[in-house]
Amino acid sequence: MATSLGQLLDALADTAQSTEPTAAARADAGTALGQLGRALAQLRRDGLSPAIGDQREQQVAALAVACSELAARAPATESTLARLAGAAADTLAGLYDHTTVATRWAAATAVAETVTPLVQVIAGGLHAGPAGQWLAEVERQSVLVQQTAALQPPSRADTAILDRPLAGPAILTSSDPAAVVPDAVAVLLRATGSAAECPSVAEVLAYTLAAETLSDAAQRLDSAAQPAAGQAAAPAWRAVRTALRPYDDGSRRPHHDAPPAVHAALRLHASLNRPGLDHALRSKPLREAVAAAAQHLPTLATQLMYRTVRSWADTGALVAYARDVPPREERVAAYLRGYQLGGLVRVDAVDLQPVAGALHNARLLSLAVATRAAAVGVPTAADFPRRALAANQALLGQPQTAAALEAATREAGRYLQLARGQASGPTRAR
């Protein structure tokens, strides 16, 4: 199952608070602090502040050193606390492509807060000596980081990184939709958030199909509810595919094997696009899975808009017929050649504005659907992404959002009307 950094840190803190302070438990907590020190050191290297070497970075670096020095004096062990802390450190390393300076500071404050219950496990039976001195230093540096965090708190949007799901090594092996949905969303977020490889047009079409299906299922969690002023995210995601219609990169062809992210998108679509879904959504596990996954739809749209579309524009990876994109004076010759080879042009950021606009609309309308889904999706599970929900609610509560939602609804409807008009008239088949 997919997991997140926040889940692991919460589980680590809860386990430490319920652990009897035996000698084995103290050794386990010491090893766990070493793993957290590794995570803090990595955060410090990646950057925690716009100003290099400022107070935040100095304090986190000092806490990382203290944790590592204390762990070096603890008996070697690998029990529950150490495994949870190691998994949290590894998860943090896997989030590198998704983080910024601000989100790394949010992660560092969460790790520093988790240090406190581990210190309490060790403190009870530790004798005076070098280990005791390093334990006092860990506690002191942890308090300093938390004090700085109180003065410079991360925003709700930055804290949402703690709820970013990462899929495990064995993904999508279950046929249960309640298990398929969270793992599939984790794979999609990873595929669209990576800076190493940009998705193709065909891959993005699959991702938006999955997002449309998930949005529709989230909307259907409350059968009595109607989208306010037509605000439903599913048509907005469909409009993204409409906006992508003119563009190609050679991937619009049959493929023998689907990439893992496309396979995940198709599994999600198949799991939620089937007869009897309304009845299946009465199941609490599926309701919670859909409501939780919906919280990540705005992030998916944001990553497609700011990473994928921007990468397409920067690399010139897409082509289109001049007749299908906004006209330009320098493209008159290509326009007159029509749908011939000479009519193809390489598109740039200006040409891709319709796609970016459609993703912007999908993001806004997904915010509304996600917050409504959380209200009716029975989010009682401890692993529900409450930080992501809080970030969505904060964005939705901004004064300008209501007008933006209405505009997004109109724009999405315009794209779909345009698509229907093109389908009924003479057009070049793609």
| pLDDT of res. 409 | 86
- Helix, strand, coil shares of the chain, percent, nearest 5, are 70, 0, 30
What is the pairing mode between strands 344-346 and 319-321? antiparallel
The identity of residue 126, as a single letter, is L
Judge if pTM exceeds 0.75. yes
| pLDDT of res. 419 | 64
- Domain boundaries defined on the chain: 5-157, 177-424
Residue 123's CB: how many other CB atoms inside 10 A?
Answer: 16
Q: What is the pLDDT along the chain (430 residues), one digit of tens a residue?
A: 788 999 999 999 999 999 888 889 999 999 999 999 999 999 999 999 888 889 999 999 999 999 999 999 888 888 999 999 999 999 998 898 889 999 999 999 999 999 999 999 998 766 667 888 899 999 999 999 999 999 999 999 999 999 999 876 545 566 789 889 999 999 999 999 887 789 999 999 999 999 999 999 999 987 645 555 446 899 999 999 999 999 999 999 888 888 999 999 999 999 999 888 888 888 888 999 999 999 999 999 999 999 999 999 999 999 999 999 988 899 999 999 999 999 999 999 999 999 999 999 999 999 999 999 998 766 667 789 999 999 999 999 888 988 898 888 888 888 777 766 665 544 454 4
With vertex at residue 295, the alpha carbon angle to CA 293 and CA 299, rounded to the nearest 5 degrees, is 105
Asked if residues 368 and 405 have their Cβ atoms less than 8 Å apart, the reply is yes
Asked if residues 361 and 136 have their Cβ atoms less than 8 Å apart, the reply is no
Alpha helices in 48-170 (DSSP H): 55-72, 80-94, 101-123, 130-151, 156-159
| pLDDT of res. 89 | 95
What sign for the dihedral angle of Cα 187, 189, 192, 193? negative
Asked if residues 111 and 34 have their Cβ atoms less than 8 Å apart, the reply is no
Residue whose token pair is 């319920």: 18
Buried b (16+ CB within 10 A) or exposed e, 72-87: eebeebebebbbbbbb
| pLDDT of res. 21 | 86
Residue whose token pair is 């109109």: 410
| pLDDT of res. 97 | 86
| pLDDT of res. 77 | 83
Asked if residues 219 and 233 have their Cβ atoms less than 8 Å apart, the reply is yes
What CA–CA distances, in Å, run from 372 to 159, 271, 412?
21, 21, 20
Which run of H or E residues covers position 283?
A: none
